[in-house]
Structure 1
Amino acid sequence: MRLAEAATIPLSAMTAAIHLYQVLHLPLPWAPATEATPLLIYGGASAVGAYAIKLAKLSNIYPLIVVAGRGIPFVENLIDRSQGDTVLDYRNGDDKIVGDLRDALGGRKLEYALDAVSEKNSYVNIDKVIEATGQVSLVLSAKEKVMPSGLKLVFRSVGTVHGPVAKDTRDGKHRAKIGDVQFGGVFFRFFAQGLRERWFTGHPYEVVPGGLRGLQVALKNLKEGRASAVKYIARLEDTEGLWPNPPLGAT
């Protein structure tokens, strides 16, 4: 695996893992689901969305109802239509995507949704199709914490896996409180094992010309929605004038 591909994994894959397993509490890959568990992934062509699809498949979670746009061909290569998975196009407007989501559910109850977009009405559309008792996990913080329907929106930062070990002081005794830090330690090793055994892969990427000096163009492309199903990677050694003798493999 190239270093650039490896760079696509830690932040995005761990974000997907935190939201699927620590927020939505879906079955883990080593204790997979034993029955159909519909899961909506909004923004399936994004790095977080794509890793969520990969992890959900490892957890035997199906059917996956994925929302995407220009990255639909990429998503098609990730889902399994024989399990009832489908990908829907959000570009036809909110009313159309809500109708398509209802059609895809086919009367089944939707209890779980991962919103890898978390803006532009994404969670508003989810609110219209998910059960009142359902759970929606957002990758970005929203102004609303509770929708008019009563649905709670939950945001969790992936940075919690790097935080200090929490303390449980019940009964006046100090003990470690098991949580995201320990989860992160386990899952980073899980990803590494998957890479070694080739059942886990990185995300498509594009190396930005000019290293750090090319970030402005990359950010502009992201802001204008030109990037789809791709991660931008800036290589430090490609940055002119950053240092006279760049370290080997610096990225």
Structure 2
Amino acid sequence: MKQAFVDRNTAVTIRDTEIPSPKEGQLLIRVVVSGTNPKDWKLPQWPMRDGHGPSNEGDDIAGYVEAVGEGVVGFSKGDKVAAFHQMLTADGSFAEYAIAHAYTTFHLPAKTSFEEGATIPLAAMTAALGLYQRLNLPLPWNPASEPLPLVVYGGASAVGAYALKFAKLSNIHPLIVVAGRGKPYVETLIDRSKGDTIIDYRDGDDAVKAQIAAAIAGKPIRHAFDAVSEKGSYQNIASVLTSPGTITTVLPATGYQAPTGITIVGTNVGSVHHPPTEGKEVEDREFGAAFFPLIGRGLTQGWFSGHPHEVHPGGLGGLEGALKDLAAGKASAVKYVVRIGETEGASQ
């Protein structure tokens, strides 16, 4: 099969490799479309990856089940699915075939395109973990019954947009959303009648802080989802959050001491692949196993949708361009995806 490997310079090499076999609890998926994420160009550059060499760590899979490992229930060969590949492991989505665990896989309805499906797994689960496991906000089936302010920084990003979608399902308002070029898209995700508002980060840090404070009009605000986690984002939030308050970030808030009473906790989406700790049978893995099927139901019933997407042509041959465009900050309110069948020499 054709498989793409990304190096620390974001250069992509396509190689012929053997098709992997699923182990216990895993699925082998024939990848039709792979999504991309900022981590795909960032991780190869991290010091922790020194010495690992180029790797295929694509995490957003959309395709058909090709084979099931021992112990897998609920999936059969030929099922149309989307899946979240385990981060920092081999056999990711940048290939004709990829491996995923059954508990991070969900069925895609016939009406959902593979392109849309490939925008969902990593970003949507990051949003869900942040809102419900880290901020402990009301779940969609037990929505808030009174105003519950929430700051979402980076509302046009895929993670931020999914956080807004889930927050609305949970009746969490007012939503104070920080965005830039993607403001028109964010406008489609909020409800102005419930006090939701958008703040433009391009006005500068002081303006952002002042506008967040003004949006609340003196009321307490104790929860924030930082889908950016760089360039002063969590510092801006922390300066206006009410103590005790919590910010969840998608990147580590290293080297920063938050004000007294403000807690910063990482979303750590990779935790859905961690086994429960001793004495705790239900943690992030079980949350993911329960929440991914809910996303599938939402797609089927029409109350949930994927993120806007743009196809980079050429299949795996277009992956390098997609990742370099991500690194250059060209993506706004869009996810880049590649169709594996367009790869030169692919068997599909």
- Which TM-score applies when normalising by structure 1? 0.91
- For structure 1, which runs of at least 5 residues remain unmatched after alignment? 169-175, 247-251
Q: Unaligned regions of 5+ residues in structure 2, if any?
A: 1-111
Q: Is it true that 1:95 corresponds to 2:199 in the alignment? A: no
Instruction: Please name the residue that 2:11 is paired with.
Output: none
How many angstroms apart in 2 are the aligned matches of 1:216 and 1:59?
A: 38
Amino acid at match of 1:166: T
Is the aligned partner of 1:199 residue 2:310?
no
**Counterpart position of 1:38:** 149
Moved more, 139-148 or 183-192: 139-148
The answer as to whether partners of 1:146 and 1:152 remain within 8 angstroms in 2 is no
Residue 160 (structure 2) aligns with: 49
Once structures 1 and 2 are overlaid, which stretch shifts more, 217-226 or 141-150?
141-150
How big is the shift at 1:166?
Answer: 3.0
Q: 1:72 aligns with which of 169, 183, 187?
A: 183
Identify the residue that residue 219 of structure 2 maps to in structure 1.
Answer: 108
- CA RMSD, aligned part only? 1.3
Answer 1 or 2: which has greater strand percent. 2
- Relative to the length of structure 2, the TM-score reads 0.66
Per-residue deviation, 1:145: 6.0
- Residue identity matched to 1:63: P
Report the Cα distance in structure 2 between the residues aligned to 1:30 and 1:148, rounded to whole angstroms.
34
User: Which of the numbers 64, 71, 82 marks the counterpart of 2:193?
Assistant: 82
Aligned position for 1:224: 328
2:243 corresponds to 1:132: yes
The range that moved more, 127-136 or 15-24, is 127-136
Which residue in the other structure is 1:190 paired with? 294
Cα offset, 1:151, TM superposition: 2.3
Deviations 1:28-80 (A, max 9, x none): 00011011000000000000100100100000100000000000000001100
Question: Following TM superposition, where does structure 1 have runs of at least 4 consecutive aligned residues deviating by more than 6 angstroms?
Answer: none
2:229–2:251 contact (8 Å) kept in structure 1 = yes
Identify, as 1 or 2, the structure richer in helix: 1
Tell me by how many angstroms 1:220 deviates.
2.1
Task: Give the conservation status (yes or no) of the 8 Å contact 1:145–1:153.
Answer: no
C-alpha displacement of 1:163: 2.0
3-state SS in 2 of match to 1:128: helix
Structure 1 segment 157-172 matched on structure 2, within 5 A: 157-168=268-279
Mapped partners of 1:27, 1:98: distance in 2:
26
1:173 maps to what in 2?
none
The C-alpha deviation readout for 1:127-155, integer Å capped at 9, x for no partner, is 11101210000011121364144522101
Q: In percent, how many aligned pairs have the same letter?
A: 55
Aligned twin of 1:238 = 342
Q: Please tell me whether the aligned partners of residues 145 and 152 of structure 1 are also in contact (alpha carbons under 8 angstroms).
A: no
Give the drift of 1:167.
Answer: 2.4
SS in 2 for 1:152: strand
Q: For 2:336, what is the secondary structure of its paired residue?
A: strand
**1:127–1:149: 8 Å Cα contact kept in structure 2?**
no
**Number of aligned pairs?**
237
